[in-house]
Amino acid sequence: MNDKQRAKLQMMQATLAVLDQHADLYQANAAFAKARQRLQDLVADLDPTADNQQGAARAAKPGAVKKATKLLLAQRTAEVAAALYAHADDTDDLNLQTDSDYSESQLSRATENDLLRIAKHLHQRATDLLPQLKDQGVTTAELDELAAALKSFQAEQAAPRVAAATGKAHTQSLAADLREAFALLRNRVDKFMVRYQRSQPQFHTAYQSARQTINTAARKEKAPKPTA
């Protein structure tokens, strides 16, 4: 929520407080009471301390892949790569030797996308060659460990994209609620209040005062007067 939106929310909260203080004056007016209730619901949803706002704020904070997750994938990939490299050397398979020529240090320094690509490729090669890799001590359990490390890595890598989408949806929803609340005041409550201008001047004046949006963040500091 930006400064302008916060200022509008504060105005709505102040306006709602005035309406609540004088609720007995318009309870018999079904349309007025309904509009006040809808405004209350919108303000509650927009409140930064509300559960839905807190959850969205937490979701909107993307994080990179954890260092430990990347290191684990690099370790598991390097172990399988070593077995593949030995098998390639034993069988004079130059293509496999080139594909599997990676150390743990190289993999841990690789970009996330490169590490993911290499790990996937080597996992597939090792799966296809599992019977021949028995001599290197490669087991199904070892490949399952590599697959699990891959899954964890991919999940953390996708988290920022999910968070960004959640944050965008939250921002759009917040803006829509603000627009609805502002339109509710302008098109309904402001017009309902005309009936109270003469009969309940104190209520009307308090309402008009609360309806003023003050965006303090938008104020510009006055330039100092030049000294003589």
pLDDT higher at 163 or 117: 117
138: left (phi over 0), alpha (psi -120 to 50) or beta: beta
What's the pLDDT score for residue 120? 94
- Which of 34-38, 49-53, 153-157 tops mean pLDDT? 34-38
pLDDT higher at 37 or 47: 37
Q: What would the pLDDT profile of 64-86 be if each residue is shown by its tens digit?
A: 458 888 999 999 999 999 999 99
Q: What are phi and psi of 196, to 5 degrees?
A: -105, 0
What's the pLDDT score for residue 226? 58
Q: Is the pLDDT of residue 36 over 50?
A: yes
What's the pLDDT score for residue 54? 43
What's the pLDDT score for residue 113? 87
